[in-house]
Amino acid sequence: MGTKLNSAAAGTANYVDERTSIGGFVKFFARKLFPDHWSFMLGEIALYSFIVLLLSGVFLTAFFVPSMTEVHYEGPFETMHGVAMTEAFASTLKTSFEVPGGLLIRQIHHWAALLFLAAIMTHMCRVFFTGAFRKPRELNWLVGFTLMILGLAAGFSGYSLPDDVLSGNGLRIIDGVVKSIPLIGSYISYWMFGGEYPGVDIIPRLFTMHILLVPGLILALIALHLFLVFLHKHTQYPGGGKSHKNVVGLPLFPVYTAKAGGFFFVVFGIIALVASVFTINPVWNYGPYDPSPVSAGTQPDWYILFVDGALRLMPGWIAGVFPLEWELWGYTLSWNILIPAVIVPGIFFAIIALYPWLEAWATGDKGERHVLDRPRNVPVRTGIGVAMISFYVILVIEGSNDIVANLFHLSLNDITIFFQWGIFIIPPLAFWITKRICLGLQRKDRELVLHGHETGTIVRYDHGEYVEVHRPLDEQEVWLRVSYDNHKPLEIEPELNDHGVARKGYRWDRFKQRLSRFYFEERVEPVTPEELEEARHHHDSHGAHEAAEAEESGERLDSEWEELEDGAKR
Amino acid sequence: MSAPEHSTGSELDPANGFENPGLGEHRPRKADIDDKADKKAERQTAALFGISIVGTIIALVAYFTLNDADPGDIAQIRQVNMWIGIGIFLAMIGIGLGAIHWAKTLMRDHEMVEDRHELRSSDEAREGAIQNLKDGVEDSGLGGPKRRSVLKGSLITALAVAPLAVLVPQIGNMGSDWNISKFRHTLWGPGVRLARDPDGALIKAADVTIGSVFHVIPDGLNDLDHHHLISEKAKAVVLLVRLDPADLKVQEGREDWSFDGIVAYSKICTHVGCPVALYEQQTHHLLCPCHQSTFDVSDGCKVVFGPAKRPLPQLPIAVDDEGYIVAQADFDEPIGPSYWDRLKGGDDTTAEEVSH
Amino acid sequence: MHAIARRRHHRAAPLLLVLALLALITGVAAVAAPSAATASTEASADDVAAGERLFAANCASCHGLDAQGQDGVAPSLVGVGAAAVDFQVGTGRMPMQASGPQAPAKPVQFDQDEINQLAAWVASLGAGPAIPTPEQVDPALGDAANGMLVFRTNCAMCHGSIGGGGALTQGKFAPSLLETTPEHIYEAMLTGPQSMPVFNDANITPEHKRDVIAYLDFQSNGSPGGLSLGAIGPVSEGLWAWLILLGLIIASTIWVGARSS
């Protein structure tokens, strides 16, 4: 039986290989090593929720009718009897209430969409804080960034498809934002909606975008993203035996085939569990789209909330006297919309996309970096990351300010005013605090390397002095704390050369130097071998014997304790 | 072949003066050394796969049995979806946890080391690439003494403009008639009666008691076909409020736009176009639920808070012979959010475009 | 015991924590079904007299002995009708305890007979809306689909799409309607308490009011999709997606990434 199976497998393999030379690929891939760490699986969550989105989305297209033709509801749901609606909305209700399990698949699809973007952003944070975007991965960072933007587009286009009141008002906000664009805004709005808002074209158009265009691009970029991961080989956390020139891990086949493959089922399972227990996007509550009604709690899905929050935060008048909508030569320029909905998100995303180059200018680093940074060892980067997150979170909370106000019995006006100041104060403060914490942790690392772990054992010398015994770090622990890249501010050539002539490119160098000083002026130097030697020498002369003795007595206590425990059990 | 976990010293560069100590000591797992633990892990894995099979059965049973009562029964819809979902959950998570448990306990966990190679191509490869490209340019006839700038220029120009042949008709068709002056016209006009949203019942002035708010559409809107109804409704919806005339600050030039404390304002926010609908009877404030622009109905719907800059446009109203509230005219400005040439354009529409 | 206590990070602790959190949140999300109460609307001269005494003892300090109100303190109650009294006192909003952005609902201080007596006395001061009859507020007689249309045009902007409540300006709020009795819903529409506008019978006809009640009553069936997360829209869904969905999955990545013992 076994041999039969084996020969069948060999025959198939031979057949395929003779036609595809797949053997080479298998040899290349099968035993590729991947380092093991839970945080390396965040991107996988995004990938797997995307697969769940594809699977559930195919099911939904079997029932969804992307049409804005008017029908009157004839299905079983009581609060919709006879109500006029578009076919898009009617077919969404049909999928939900007349297809057994249809509502489950809708909910799986929607929860997976929320998870997809949450996982992408968490993954980006991991890559950012560990410096995994450095050479040679800058381009892959850009691919990932583009995937996030496409994820937003996929999410928003899908959210609008059921043609309910909530998403319809969301589309109307988009229309208002688009119209604010100088010169061509009105024409873009006509182009999107096929005439005046809302028209009858937007649902079919969004449908094509949602099921063909955007997912096609996402698939292509995922392929590129993963190809580059294989090409670069995965990054690894610092530690003994790890360097920029090797990769330490376990083979793709069988370990990661089982772990990562199994993890897909875990992600799918948990999405299914949440979707079976928690309602999401109950369009039957909102009702079919009509331009007149609106409900409290009119918000987009969470990943667009930051734009909504920015729109809420921006005042129409500064202090009631200075308008932020200008009328210039008879034309209207709406800063109150352009700044929060176009300019600020644009700058925010541009900084994210270009960050790898920004940091490369500051470090002047030209080598490949495959060992990750511990966030504390790059305090300015970590500070920038936390500041950006706090900025984003402020906008998200402001985008939910009515919910927050209602939940905590606050005034939404007060929340808005608080964040109108907070948006300028909190991110810099977060940067400063984070940087201080990182520097503090680095100093603590120095302390630990030089003086060892506190053992909690107090020793009394013959002459009466009490000291706490410190246990020195082993070589692995030391290496983790001393092996980081110790960048110093860039030195640049002087402005004038020997002949007193201004040199080309000086201003650019000067900019890079300023940036570099911002990053590395204030830093904690790693312990040098000489310092360590001296500290150890000092400790040795000062009670190595007692330390050993204390250790021994500690162990004795431990074993006595265990004996007692065993006794108690019996 | 079998054990590539050697790490040669040359790969492990020192850092900050310290030598890389190499990989830490490998500690075997229980299952590696204890046969009992090994068997136990195997049993656990099999049990997890078993859970998956049970989950599949639950999902199928739920699909076939929970699904025959009264359609539209909320509890039943909830049950079917929940049990199928829990079945899928178990079916998936059983496989997932089983496979991972297997990998963690029984598959290799002794880390291996592989060298990285610089991504940069070798110098020979680069030279070869450059040479190949040079040869290609040569073969195309673009290199060498004949520079063929006309050929190059015409090709680039052709490539640059060719997309227009595809894009212009496509994009051109997507915007319908591109007549953006439609923004400035609504169904309102002299004598159009105000009707209740959504059922279209007409409104008499006497019906609007102090403290009331009516959501209003123009009479005749509901007779339009669906497409026009939605597009026109999106511009025409109005809020009708009656205040104590003593509370109402009449706006200059609009002395006769209200009727005994009854005022009508566009319901579409001047910020980004949400329906502004939260009317607080005591403060006379109108709040937009989307971005919280707040307008003071007693004072010309001026902005008192939030991101909007302009007041809501006012609809001038009067009462006709039969006591119904009617519009005196259309809005005197475009309703809704601002756009670049909002104040421009004058009246360049034909009667046909005002789509009655 | 000791073995667990002495090991600082027990392997199962994160998982247990997440499960406990899940259980807690699920428990909190399960909202009790609305309870029904009925009011009798008969009024006699005795009731009026009893009501006057109750009013003098409990309400007159703000509204005045003759219920004419005081400027800046409390409004006149002449002509507000029995419906306003039944709503304000029957939901505990009156007597008001402390000044704030608005008078919140709180435990009711009077029994239904006393409320009826107060209502009878206030109604005797001037004509106003009466307490609705049981038939007027019977959800079974209403058309929930039409109720949906009326509700979302006139009510949902403040109270949310199915009446979960929402915020107004300066700390005021539109309360949740999920546990409000049909009578009180009807009376609120008719009388326009506090920030709420008045929806007289020309605006929302008595039949339409009953349809609204039928629509709100329908919500007691719960959501077909499972627990409703407060029915306040995408914000709570987003929060759940991060805390529960991503939380559970990240907890499992930690298990996947941890070395087997």
Nearest to B81 by CA among A103, A99, A63: A103
Residue B280: phi, psi to the nearest 5?
A: -100, 115
Amino acid at A364: G
**Is omega for the bond preceding C95 within 30 degrees of 0, making it cis?**
yes
Task: Please give the average per-residue pLDDT across B277-296, as a whole number.
Answer: 92
Domain-located, residue A27: no
Evaluate if residue C77 carries a pLDDT over 90. no
For residues A175 and A311, membership in a common domain is answered with: yes
Using the 3D structure, point to which of A304, A331, A346 is the last residue of a domain.
A346
Domain-located, residue C182: yes
Residue pair A240/B23 in contact (Cβ under 8 Å)? The answer is yes
pLDDT band at C123 (very low <50, low <70, confident <90, very high): confident
Winning range, highest mean pLDDT, from B17-26, B48-57, B118-127, C63-72: B48-57
* pLDDT tens digits along C11-43: 565 556 555 655 554 444 443 333 333 344 456
User: Would you state the structure tokens that stand for residue B139, as one six-digit string?
Assistant: 């073969």
Q: Tokens 């409703």, residue? A: C228
User: Would you state the structure tokens that stand for residue A446, as one six-digit string?
Assistant: 């120095």
Task: Report the CATH number at residue C206.
Answer: 1.10.760.10
Give me the residues of C, 146-165, that contact B with CB < 8 A. 149-150, 153-154, 157-158
Judging contacts by C-beta atoms under 8 Å, the chain B residues touching residue C192 are 211-212, 281
Chain C: partners with 3+ C-beta pairs within 8 Å: A, B
Task: Please give the average per-residue pLDDT across A48-59, as a whole number.
Answer: 97
Using the 3D structure, point to which of C107, C130, C153 is the last residue of a domain.
C130
* pLDDT tens digits along A329-387: 888 999 999 999 999 999 999 999 999 999 999 998 888 999 999 999 999 999 999 99
ipTM of the complex: 0.91
CA distance A551 to A453: 12
CA distance A308 to A173: 9
* pLDDT tens digits along A388-438: 999 999 999 999 999 999 889 899 999 999 999 999 999 999 999 999 999
B344: left (phi over 0), alpha (psi -120 to 50) or beta: beta
Question: End-to-end CA distance of chain A, in Å?
Answer: 52
For residues A315 and A395, membership in a common domain is answered with: no
Using the 3D structure, point to which of C85, C111, C130 is the last residue of a domain.
C130
The reply to whether C25 touches chain B by the CB within 8 Å rule is: no
CA distance B262 to B243: 6
Evaluate if residue A121 carries a pLDDT over 60. yes
The chain-wide mean pLDDT, for chain B, equals: 88
Q: How many percent of chain A have pLDDT more than 70? A: 96
Task: Report the CATH number at residue A63.
Answer: 1.20.810.10
The reply to whether B103 touches chain A by the CB within 8 Å rule is: yes
Domain-located, residue A93: yes
Cβ density class A280-319: b for 16+ within 10 Å, e for less:
bbbbbbbbbbbbbbbbbbbbbbbbbbbbbbbbbbbbbbee
CA distance B305 to C171: 14
* pLDDT tens digits along A186-216: 999 999 999 998 989 999 999 999 999 999 9
CA distance A246 to B114: 6
CB contact under 8 A, A41 and C256: yes
For residues A187 and A305, membership in a common domain is answered with: yes
Q: Can you spell out the DSSP letters for A113-165?
A: HHHHHHHHHHHHHHHHHHTTTSTT-HHHHHHHHHHHHHHHHHHHHHHHTT-BH
Nearest CB partner across the interface for C169, out of B82, B281, B287 = B287
The reply to whether C44 touches chain B by the CB within 8 Å rule is: no
Q: Can you spell out the DSSP letters for C192-205?
A: --TTSPB--TTTS-
pLDDT band at C216 (very low <50, low <70, confident <90, very high): very high
For residues A330 and A415, membership in a common domain is answered with: no
Using the 3D structure, point to which of A328, A346, A364 is the last residue of a domain.
A346
- Domain of C63, in residue numbers: 35-130
Q: What beta strand segments (E) does chain B contain?
A: 112-115, 194-196, 213-218, 238-242, 262-266, 278-280, 285-287, 294-296, 302-305, 314-315, 317-319, 325-327
* pLDDT tens digits along A434-451: 999 999 999 999 999 998
Q: What beta strand segments (E) does chain C contain?
A: 166-167, 173-174
Judging contacts by C-beta atoms under 8 Å, the chain B residues touching residue A292 are 197-198, 215, 217, 233, 237, 267, 275
CB contact under 8 A, C194 and B29: no
The residues pairing with A326 across neighbouring beta strands, listed in sequence order, are A333
H or E stretch including A33? strand A33-34
Amino acid at B52: S
Domain-located, residue C13: no
Task: Please give the average per-residue pLDDT across B150-157, as a whole number.
Answer: 92
Judging contacts by C-beta atoms under 8 Å, the chain C residues touching residue A300 are 234
For residues C68 and C91, membership in a common domain is answered with: yes
Q: Where are the domains of chain B?
A: 28-105, 182-341
- Number of helices (H) and strands (E) in chain B: give both, helices first: 6, 12
- Domain of A84, in residue numbers: 33-346
CB contact under 8 A, C197 and B281: yes
CA distance C73 to C95: 13
Q: Say what the pLDDT of residue C31 is.
A: 36
Judging contacts by C-beta atoms under 8 Å, the chain C residues touching residue A45 are 246, 249-250, 253
The secondary structure of B22-70, three-state, reads: CCCCCCCCHHHHCHHHHHHHHHHHHHHHHHHHHHHHHHHHHHHHCCCCC
Chain B: partners with 3+ C-beta pairs within 8 Å: A, C
CA distance A157 to B179: 26
Q: Say what the pLDDT of residue B39 is.
A: 94
Q: Count CB-CB contacts under 10 A for residue B133.
A: 11
Judging contacts by C-beta atoms under 8 Å, the chain B residues touching residue A330 are 343-344
Evaluate if residue B355 carries a pLDDT over 60. no
Q: Say what the pLDDT of residue B334 is.
A: 92
Among A303-312, B93-102, B143-152, whose mean pLDDT is lowest?
B143-152
Residue pair A513/A418 in contact (Cβ under 8 Å)? The answer is no
CA distance A557 to A563: 10
Half-sphere exposure of B217 (CA within 13 A, CB side): 23
Domain-located, residue A102: yes
Judging contacts by C-beta atoms under 8 Å, the chain C residues touching residue B26 are none
The reply to whether A337 touches chain B by the CB within 8 Å rule is: yes
CA distance B294 to A77: 36
- Tally of domains within chain A: 2
The residues pairing with A70 across neighbouring beta strands, listed in sequence order, are A86
Evaluate if residue B350 carries a pLDDT over 50. no
- Tally of domains within chain C: 2
Q: How many percent of chain C have pLDDT more than 90? A: 30
Using the 3D structure, point to which of C71, C96, C130 is the last residue of a domain.
C130
According to DSSP, residue A293 is labeled -
Task: Give CA separation, B250 vs A218, A247, A321, A381, B246, in Å.
Answer: 57, 77, 22, 57, 10
Q: Say what the pLDDT of residue C56 is.
A: 83
Q: Say what the pLDDT of residue C141 is.
A: 93
For residues A68 and A187, membership in a common domain is answered with: yes
Domain-located, residue A5: no
pLDDT band at B67 (very low <50, low <70, confident <90, very high): confident
Q: Which CATH number fits domain B182-341: 3.40.50.2300, 2.170.190.11, 3.90.1150.10, 2.102.10.10?
A: 2.102.10.10
Domain-located, residue C171: yes
For residue C149, give the chain B residue with the closest CA: B198
